Amino acid sequence: MKLLVAACAVCMFLSCVKDPDHHVRVRNLSEHPITILIDDTIRFDSIAVQQKSVYKSIQEGSHQVGGDYFGNFVVEGTGTHKWTIEILDDGMNLVED
Query: Could you give the CA distance from residue 29 to residue 74 in angstroms, rounded to a whole number?
Result: 20
Strand order in the sheet with 91-96: 56-58, 21-28, 80-88, 91-96
pLDDT of 62 strictly over 80 = yes
Phi, psi of 43, deg, nearest 5: -115, 135
Alpha-carbon distance values, 77 to 15, 21, 61, 72, 80 (Å): 19, 9, 10, 17, 8
Q: Which domains does the chain have, with CATH numbers?
A: 19-96 (2.60.40)
Q: Residue 9: which pLDDT band, with cuts at 50, 70 and 90?
A: low
Task: Read off the pLDDT of residues 14-49 as tens digits, 9 standing for 90 and up.
Answer: 455 556 799 999 999 999 999 999 999 999 999 999
C-alpha dihedral sign at 28, 31, 32, 36? negative
Q: Residue 67: which pLDDT band, with cuts at 50, 70 and 90?
A: very high
